Amino acid sequence: MVALDHALSGQEIETGQDLETKPTNLGVALENYQRNRGPEHRALIRLARFGVPYQYSQPWKRHRIGKFLWTANVAFRLLLNKISFGLIQPTCIILMTQNHELSFRQIMRRADTTALILKLLGLAIFVRFFALKFAAL
């Protein structure tokens, strides 16, 4: 809400200092706010969708299976984080609770980087396995 107030009153959104050129109308002020805060809002929405998708128990079997798989993913990433001495980042829900100085964008960027590393590692193992299997034929 502070950022919106700064945008509407013609101040720098991050610092609250007066801008040299104030917005001429409400539309310009809201566009400045959206440009500044939009990426953070999108990251927060992604965090809510993927970070804690099963925070409420649901009776359907597919939700129980999904919750189990999500919990296994969190445990696996936490284990990888401990084994790699922090080189591999933990899941986004752990990042959010451990470091309050990170923005939602930074949290999701770290989680996405970890997911990319794990996907590439899985692909490399898959390719290596089939390369050895077909080389023996």
For residue 94, the model assigns a pLDDT of 86
Give the type of residue at 28: V
Per-residue pLDDT tens digits for 53-108? 777 777 888 888 988 998 898 899 899 999 999 888 888 888 888 888 899 999 99
| pLDDT greater than 90 at residue 24 | no
Q: Where residue 120 falls among pLDDT bands split at 50, 70, 90?
A: very high
**What residue spans define the domains of the chain?**
1-51, 59-137
| pLDDT greater than 80 at residue 115 | yes
Q: Where residue 123 falls among pLDDT bands split at 50, 70, 90?
A: very high
Q: Where residue 136 falls among pLDDT bands split at 50, 70, 90?
A: low
| pLDDT greater than 80 at residue 21 | no
**SS3 (DSSP) at 56:** coil
The span from the CA of 89 to the CA of 66, in Å, is 22
Q: Where residue 125 falls among pLDDT bands split at 50, 70, 90?
A: very high
Are 36 and 13 in contact by the 8 Å Cβ rule? The answer is: yes
**Residue 92: its H or E element:** helix 92-98
Per-residue pLDDT tens digits for 32-56? 888 888 889 999 898 888 777 777 7
